[in-house]
Amino acid sequence: MEKKLARLKEILAEISDIEGAASLLGWDQQTYMPPGAAEQRGQQSGTLGKIAHQMGTSPEMGKLLEELGPYAESLDPDSDDARLIKFAIRDYERATRVPAEFIVERNRVLALANQAWTEARQTSNFEHFRPHLEKIMELTRRYVDFFPPADHPYDVLLDNFEPGMKTAEVKAIFDALRPQQVELIRAISERPQVDDSFLHQPFDEKKQWDFGVEVITRFGYDWNRGRQDKSAHPFTGGPGLFDVRITTRVDPNFLNTMLFGTMHECGHALYDQGADPALARTNLLGGASLAVHESQSRMWENLVGRSLPFWEHFYPRLQEYFPQLRELPLQRFYQGINKVQPSYIRVEADEATYNLHIMLRLEIEIALIEGRLPVRDLPAYWNAKMQEYLGIMPPDDARGVLQDIHWSWGLFGYFSTYALGNLISVQLWEKIKSDIPDLDDQIRAGKFEALLGWLRENIHRHGRKFMPQELVQRVTGSKIDPSPYMRYLRRKYSEIYGL
Q: Which residues are catalytic?
A: 265
Nearest-CA neighbor of 410 among 52, 47, 46, 107? 107
Hey, is 248 helix, strand or coil?
Answer: strand
Q: How far apart are the first and last CA of the chain?
A: 63
* Alpha carbon distance 88, 325 (integer Å): 53
* Diameter over CA atoms, the chain: 70
Q: Which amino acid is at 250?
A: V
* Alpha carbon distance 390, 224 (integer Å): 42
* Alpha carbon distance 425, 419 (integer Å): 10
* Alpha carbon distance 294, 474 (integer Å): 18
* Alpha carbon distance 218, 215 (integer Å): 5
Contact between 235 and 261 (Cβ < 8 Å): no
| Helix pair 167-189, 483-497: axis angle to 10 deg | 10
Which residue stretches of 274-350 are H helix?
A: 290-298, 308-321, 330-337
Give Cα separations from 315 to 292, 444, 479 (angstroms).
Answer: 29, 11, 36
Residue 228 β-bridge partners: 246
Contact between 348 and 132 (Cβ < 8 Å): no
For 407, counting Cβ atoms within 10 Å of its Cβ (0-12 exposed, 13-18 middle, 19+ buried), the class is buried
Q: Which amino acid is at 494?
A: S
Q: How many Cβ atoms sit within 10 Å of the Cβ of residue 371?
A: 10
Cα-Cα-Cα-Cα dihedral sign, residues 85, 88, 93, 96: negative
Hey, is 454 helix, strand or coil?
Answer: helix
Give Cα separations from 355 to 65, 200, 313, 490, 495 (angstroms).
Answer: 40, 24, 29, 15, 21
Contact between 153 and 370 (Cβ < 8 Å): yes
Sheet containing strand 228-230, edge to edge, reads 228-230, 243-248, 236-240
Q: What is the 3-state secondary structure (H, E, C) of 322-349?
A: CHHHCCCCHHHHHHHHCCCCCCCCHHHC
Report the length, in residues, of the chain: 499
